[in-house]
Amino acid sequence: MSDIGFAFEIDGRTIDPSNIEDPVEAEIIHNIVESIVSQVGDLVCQEHKKAARFVCTGDSLDSLTLEIEGCCDVMIDKVKAQMTLQ
Interface positions with Zn ion (CB under 5 A): 45, 47-48, 71-72, 75
Q: Which is nearer to Zn ion, 28 or 76 (CB)?
A: 76
43 and 78 Cβ atoms separated by less than 8 Å: yes
Q: Which is nearer to Zn ion, 47 or 59 (CB)?
A: 47
Measured CA to CA, the distance from residue 16 to residue 33 in angstroms comes to 12
Question: What is the nearest approach in angstroms of Zn ion to the Cβ of residue 38?
Answer: 22
29 and 17 Cβ atoms separated by less than 8 Å: yes
Measured CA to CA, the distance from residue 72 to residue 64 in angstroms comes to 24
Question: What is the nearest approach in angstroms of Zn ion to the Cβ of residue 76?
Answer: 9
Question: What is the nearest approach in angstroms of Zn ion to the Cβ of residue 1?
Answer: 20
